[in-house]
Amino acid sequence: ASPPITMSEESQKARAESQMVLKEEKTPPGLQEETRLREARHLIREGRYEDALSLLSPLFLTPPANWEPWFWMGTAYLGTGNLEEADQFFLSGLARNDKIPQLWIQRALVAQQQGEYQLAIHELRQAEALQSDLPHIHLNMGYAYDQLGNERLANQYYGKFLQLTDGNPDFFGTRKKLLARLTQPNPSRTPSTP
């Protein structure tokens, strides 16, 4: 008996892409956008940022009126390390709806990666004013204050993050890293004076 014939990984990918294109041609434009956004979220969570950029690019042939494509495109660029491009997409998303805290949080991440911690805090305060119970706000505020040497405020925000994420399995990895960092002696941190 001969071995079963299998498709190469490249052939399978090409076939899946062609099926996606055929499927999209039959789908109404709004549904195409939803499908692309859903798939892009999945790719970004897997760390496949370039694939997400390719998938999202057709949505920008005509600039979208909704904030969400701008958010995901910016997030994909952030994942690739293209901070300037990411920031421009987040700004465009905010121009469409400045009441979305996640857009402010992502702008703060860009600022942090550029070493602009005061700007990051400003952006996070915008997010906090919109929805104060988002754990990512508190984690990143803690980090920014930590980088600025303000241990008291850093610990306050880290504590709030730990409180908000207690028992949430989505945050177990982040909590573990943070707790290890907070409980490890850090020579760069000087003890607070009473």
Residue pLDDT, tens place only, 37-59: 999 999 999 999 999 999 999 99
Distance (Å, whole) CA 7 – CA 4: 10
pLDDT at 185: 76
What whole-number distance in Å separates Cα of residue 139 and Cα of residue 157?
Answer: 6
Instruction: Give the list of residues 6+ apart from residue 164 with CB closer than 8 angstroms, or none.
Output: 133, 134, 135, 138
**Can you tell me the mean pLDDT for 106-112?**
98
Contact indicator for 161, 134 with CB cutoff of 8 Å? no
First vs last Cα of the chain: how many Å apart?
Answer: 81
**Does the pLDDT value for residue 3 go beyond 90?**
no
CA 75 to chain centre: 5
Q: Is the pLDDT of residue 29 over 90?
A: no
Q: Contact at 8 Å (CB) between 116 and 84?
A: no
Residues of the chain with pLDDT > 90, as a percent, come to: 77
Other CB atoms within a 10 A radius of the CB of residue 61 amount to 7
Superfamily of domain 98-185: Tetratricopeptide repeat domain (1.25.40.10)
Mean pLDDT of 18-34: 57
Q: What is the pLDDT of residue 31?
A: 64
Per-residue pLDDT for 25 more than 80?
no
Least confident of 10-14, 72-76, 118-122, 189-193: 189-193
pLDDT tens digit sequence for 80-95: 999 999 999 999 999 9
With beta carbons less than 8 A apart as the criterion, state whether 154 and 138 touch: no
Q: List where CATH 1.25.40.10 sits in the chain.
A: 16-93, 98-185
In whole angstroms, give the CA distance from residue 125 to residue 145: 13
- pLDDT class for 187, splitting at 50, 70, 90? low
Question: Is domain 16-93 classified as CATH 1.25.40.10?
Answer: yes
- Higher model confidence: residue 188 or residue 156? 156
Q: Name the DSSP letter for residue 60.
A: G
pLDDT of residue 184: 86
**Contact residues for 171 (Cβ-Cβ < 8 A; gap 6+):** 135, 165
| H/E element, 65 | none
